[in-house]
Structure 1
Amino acid sequence: MTTYDSIPYPSYSHPQTSPAHLSAIARVFGLSPVDPKSAKVLEIGCASGGNIIPLAARYPEAQFWGLDLSKAQISVAKQKAEKLALTNIKFVAASIVDHNFKRQKFDYIIAHGVYAWVPGNVQQRLLEVCGENLSKNGLAYISYNTLPGWNALKTIRDMMLYHSQNFSDPAQKVLEARNMLKFVSDNMKIQTGPYKETLDAEIKRLQNLSDSYLLHEYLEAVNEPCYFHEFAAKASDHGLTYLGDADLQSMFLGNHNEKVSSTLMQIEDNVRQEQYMDFISNRRFRMSLLVQNGLGINRVISEERLTGLRFTPNFKLEKPVDISQLGRVEEINLVNMQAADRKGKVRGRIFCAAVIEMLRAYPLRLSLDEIIEATMITLKDMDKETIRKEVTANIMRSIFNGMCSIIYDDVQPVLTPSEKPLAFGPALYESQLMEIVPNHYSEMVKLSDDQRLVLQYVNGENTIEQIGTALKRHIEKGEFTLAANGEPIDSSAANYDDYIQKYVEDMIGVFANSSLLVA
C-alpha cells in the first residue's frame, strides 16, 4: 500500500498533456505527429484516470492505456471508465519497472508529476519506455521539478520532513508539517531579508493548498529535482531528443530583455540555451517534450506550420470595447483569464481587430484562416494580403509570448444546445463527486453547488422544461433556492415558471461558454 492509496492525489485533467496540444507543438516545429483522433496513448502514473479518461471520451476512435502503482486508484479509474461506457481504454495496476510493454508502440506517452518523485531506477525505466515504445513520430511528455528554482523550496521540504519524521500515519505527517510551517512563520515575523521573503511567500502558498498536495509534493520519501541539462542528457542516453516545452512561452527568448536575448541567441545548442534561461528565471518546474533521435526538428517557424492549428486566447479585454468602434481600435489592454494580476497589451489596428474577433468567437477555437476572414469583415477598407501578413506575424509571436495557446483539433464544443442538451460525459460524472470537472478541451472548470445540481440533468434525456421540473422538486424539498434580486422566489408567484425557465436557459448558456456541452 502506498501513500497514494491512503491519501489519493486529486486526479484532474491537464490540458497541457492533451495530444491535441502536444501535436500542435510538434507541428509548429516541423514534425508530423499522429492525429490524436486515431492515436495510441499511454499515461504513466494515471492515478484514478482524471486526466486520461476525458481524453478517451473525447477521442473514441483512439486507444488509451493507463498505468499506476496504486491498486486503489486503478480500481476507481476502472469504475469511472465502466460508468462512462468507454471501450477504448485499459488500466493496469503495476510498477513501470515490472510491467512488460513488449513491443507496443505509442504515439503519445504522458508522465505528469512522476519523474522527480520516483527513485533513480524508476526514472531510468521511464525514459527507457519512452525510448523503446514511442512510435516513429511519437511524442513523450514528462514533467518534473527543476533546479535552480527548487533550491529554496528544498529548505522548506527539509523542515517539514525533519519535524514529521516520527509520524507514520500520512494524515498525521501532514498535520505536523503544517504545524511546522506555522511555527516558522510565527517566529520569523521580526526578521527581514531575502531568506524571510522567500520562506514567507512559499509558506503562504502552501497554507492554502490541500493535504494531498502537501503530502505528495513535499513529504514523499523521494522528490529529486534536477537541472534541465541533466534530464536532457539522460534522455539522450535512451535515444531521445528534446523537442520543446509544453509551455511554449517559457522557450521564447523575446520574453527576456534585449541584452539577455541577444546573448542567448548566440548559443546554438538548444539544451544549453534552455539551461541558461532556467538559471535566469530560477525555474522550478518543467514539462518537457521528447521525440526519437533523427527527426527533422525545425525551430524556424513558418506560416505553413500553422495550417490545421486552432488558437485559444489566454487573455480577455480589460474593459469592453464599444461595438461602434470595432475596426477603429489601435490599442487594447488585456488581462489573463486565469490570473487577474497578469496584464497584456495589443497595438495596431489590424491585430486589435483580430484579437477582438477571437474573443467574440470564444470558447470556439478559430483557425488562422478563420481569424483572417473575421478580421476582413471588420476591416472592410483593407486588402486581404495586408491583413493576412499582419495577423500571421502577430499570431506567431502570440504563441510564444503566452497570449495564445494552440491545439490540433477540428471538433468544436456545442454553443447552441439541442432540444435535449448533453454535457461532456466525464464532466457529468465528476460533477456528482467534486466541484472541478473537465471540459471538452481537458481544461478544469470549477462549478458552484447550484451548477453541479443542474448539470446532472443535462444528460441528453431532458428538455429545458424537464430540467426546470426537476429543479422544482429540489426546491420543494428545500435542497435548492431560486432567487431574484437577492430574494427567494416563492413557488406561488405568478411568474414562477418563467423564472425557472430563464434560470435553466442561463445555466445551459454558462455550460456552453465553458465548453461543457457536446453534440
Structure 2
Amino acid sequence: MQTSYDEIPYMGRVHAQTHPQRLAIIAKLFNFPAPKIETARILELGCGDGSNLLNIAYQLPQSTCIGIDASSLHIERGQGMIEAAKLSNAKLVAENLTSIDESWGTFDYIICHGVFSWVPIEVQQKIFSICKNLLSETGIAYISYNTYPGWHMYNMFRGMMQYHAGKMEHTEDKIAQAKAILQFTTLHTLDSSSPYGQFLGNNIEFMSRLTDEYLFHEYLETNNHPLYFNQFVEQAAQHSLQYLGDTEFHTMTPLNYPEETKATLEAISPSIFELEQYMDFLRCRRFRCSLLIRDHHELKREVPLDPFLDLRFRFRAFAQSLIDIEPTERPEQPLSDEEHDIETTLHAISINDANIEDQDLTAADVDLYKSALELLNDCYPQSLHFSEIIAQCSTTLSRVIEQEEQIDLCKLFQSLFIKNLIHLELIAPTFVTEISERPILNPLARYQLTYQAVVNSALHDMILVSDPWLQQLGQRLTGEHTLPELIETLKELQDQEILETPFETPPEDPDKELLVLLKKALQIFADHGALIG
C-alpha cells in the first residue's frame, strides 16, 4: 500500500537524542540499570530510510537493529545503505507498525521518533502497547511528540495552510500555496506591530526555511495530534509504563531559572511531572522526547556525582544540527539555522558558566578546572573519559590530583551538563581527525550522497553537504584513491560539465589550489566525525 511518504519521501536524518547511548546515560544518572548498549536489541518504529537506525547499527556492530516503516521507498533506500555498509546486524521491514506482535521478541531499546503525533489515536495506543509488551525488563522506550502549549501557536499556521492548500489538487501546488498563504498573511496583516503581527513576522522566516517534505508532513498531513506532557504521562501509565526522563536533561531541572522562579516552581510542584509541566508552560514548549520504562521499577530522582566518574565528556559545538560544508570561502554573513561557517566555533566555556555553589576556589582549583576545559577543547570532537582527564591534568600540572579535587571537578562537569554545555558519552565513537593519503568517508554517508545532501556522522549528527562539488567528492572517498587521484577525478567531472569550476577566476596552478580546497573539505568531514580512515 502506497503512502504519502512514497510520494514525498522524508530526507534521511539521524537524531542525536535517539541514540541508545543517550537513553542509557539518562538512566545511569537516575541509577537505573539500563541494558548494555553494545549488545542491545533495538527496534525503531517509523524508521524512514533507516538513516538513524543504521547509523546506530554501524556504531554498535554487536547489537541487533530492526526497523519498520510503511513506505516501501524508504525501505528500499535503507536496503541500499545496508548493502553499502555491509551491515549484518540490521534489518528493515516494509510494513505498518500495527502488524507488530509478540513474535518479534523483546527489545532493550524502542525508538519512535517523529511518529506518535502524526498517526491516528488508535495507532498511538498501539505504540504504547508495543512498548508495554516488547520492552525487556529494564528496557527503555523513546517517544517524541508535539506538545502544548507551544503547538497551540503552530496549529494556527497549520490551520491556515490546510484551509488554503486544501483547495489544490496536486501535492506540489499544495506545498507552494501553503507557503504563499503564510507570506500573504504576514505581509498584509492590518497591524504588523500588534501581538499577532509580531508573531507572524517573527515566525515567517523559520517557516519559509522548512524543506518541502518537512512542511508537507508536519503541516498538511491529516494527522497531527499534540498533547500536554501530563496527558502523555497519564496515557503511558494506562499501559503500565512510567516516565524516566527527557533526552534533553537540562529541560528537566529548574536550576537554570532565577531563584524566585525556582522557589515558586518547587512550591507548586509536588512531583517531577508537575514540575516539568509548569516548566513547559514557561518555555512555551512544542516538542518533547520522553523516555519510558516499566512502571514497577522504583526510581531515585536525585542525580549523584558517582555516574560522572565513569563517563566520557565532549564539548558541545555551538553549530546548528545541520552544518553546511562549502568548498570555497564565503563572505562574512549572519548564520542561518541550517548553515555554519567553514570553521565550527566552540562555545567559550568558562568556570563562571558552571556557577559552582558553596565553593571557595583556590588558585589550584582554578588551574585544575582550566586545564580540564582546555583538554576538552583541544581534543574536540573526540571525547575523554574522566580518568583520562585526571591523568592528563596531573601531567600538565605536574602534581597529583587529590580525591577531593576530583570530586570538585565532577561537580564542575555536572553543572556544565545541566547547563547543556557538554555532552556525556558511554563509549568513544570511531572516526579519524587526521587526513590520510587515501581518505575514507563512512559508507552510510557515501551512499546517502547518491540521493540526498544530508549525511550521517559518527557523532550521530547530521552534516548538510549542499555543494555538488563536495557531493561528488564524498561518493569517491572509498580509501581506493589518493589525494592526487581524487583531484584528477574532480577535474574530469569538470571537463564533462558535471561539475562547475570552484574558482571565480582561473588560478595559476589549478592542481595546487584544488589540493588546498580538497584538504579543507576533508578536514571538515573529519572534524564532524564523518571520516573513518
Q: TM bucket by the smaller chain?
A: 0.7 to 0.9
**Which deviates the most, 380-389 or 2-11?**
380-389
Q: What code does the residue aligned with 1:10 have?
A: M
SS at match of 2:99: coil
**Residue in 1 that maps onto 2:205:** 204
Distance 1:344 1:355, change over 3 A: closer
SS at match of 2:167: coil
> 4+ runs of 1 displaced by more than 6 Å?
337-344
CA distance in 2, matches of 1:110, 1:261: 32
Q: What code does the residue aligned with 1:516 have?
A: A
Shift of 1:300: 1.8
Q: What code does the residue aligned with 1:346 have?
A: I
Distance 1:375 1:95, change over 3 A: same
Distance 1:187 1:343, change over 3 A: farther
| 2:471 is the alignment partner of 1:466 | no
**Residue in 2 that maps onto 1:402:** 420
Q: Which runs of 5+ in 2 are unaligned?
A: 320-338, 353-365
SS at match of 2:434: coil
SS at match of 1:517: coil
Matches within 5 A, 1:119-518: 119-188=120-189, 190-266=191-267, 267-315=269-317, 345-347=350-352, 348-380=366-398, 383-385=401-403, 387-447=405-465, 448-477=467-496, 479=499, 481=501, 487-490=505-508, 493=509, 498-518=512-532
Distance 1:450 1:191, change over 3 A: closer
**Residue in 1 that maps onto 2:29:** 28
SS at match of 1:97: helix
CA distance in 1, matches of 2:50, 2:470: 23
CA distance in 2, matches of 1:381, 1:342: 29
CA distance in 2, matches of 1:433, 1:103: 31
Shift of 1:4: 1.4
CA distance in 1, matches of 2:307, 2:463: 30
What do residues 290-345 of structure 1 show as CA deviations (whole Å, max 9, x unaligned)? Answer: 1112334223222321244222211569xxxxxxxxxxxxxxxxxxx979899865
Distance 1:499 1:161, change over 3 A: closer
Q: What code does the residue aligned with 1:481 have?
A: T
Q: What code does the residue aligned with 1:374 have?
A: Q
CA distance in 1, matches of 2:402, 2:486: 47
Q: What code does the residue aligned with 1:198 have?
A: F
**Which deviates the most, 142-151 or 49-58?**
49-58
Percent identical among aligned pairs is 30
Distance 1:468 1:72, change over 3 A: closer
CA distance in 2, matches of 1:308, 1:518: 26
TM-score by length of 1: 0.88
Q: Which runs of 5+ in 1 are unaligned?
A: 318-336
What do residues 444-465 of structure 1 show as CA deviations (whole Å, max 9, x unaligned)? Answer: 1122433333322321222334
Distance 1:412 1:391, change over 3 A: farther
CA distance in 2, matches of 1:160, 1:498: 51
CA distance in 1, matches of 2:305, 2:473: 44
Shift of 1:472: 4.1
Distance 1:8 1:189, change over 3 A: farther
Shift of 1:149: 1.0
Contact 2:191–2:197 at 8 Å: present in 1 too? Answer: no
SS at match of 1:137: strand
Q: What code does the residue aligned with 1:351 have?
A: Y
Shift of 1:466: 3.1
Shift of 1:507: 3.5
CA distance in 2, matches of 1:516, 1:71: 28
What do residues 456-506 of structure 1 show as CA deviations (whole Å, max 9, x unaligned)? Answer: 2321222334333433433554535365xx74334xx4xx65555554444
Distance 1:206 1:153, change over 3 A: same
What do residues 31-64 of structure 1 show as CA deviations (whole Å, max 9, x unaligned)? Answer: 2222222111111111111211212222222111
Distance 1:123 1:50, change over 3 A: same
Q: What code does the residue aligned with 1:440 have?
A: A
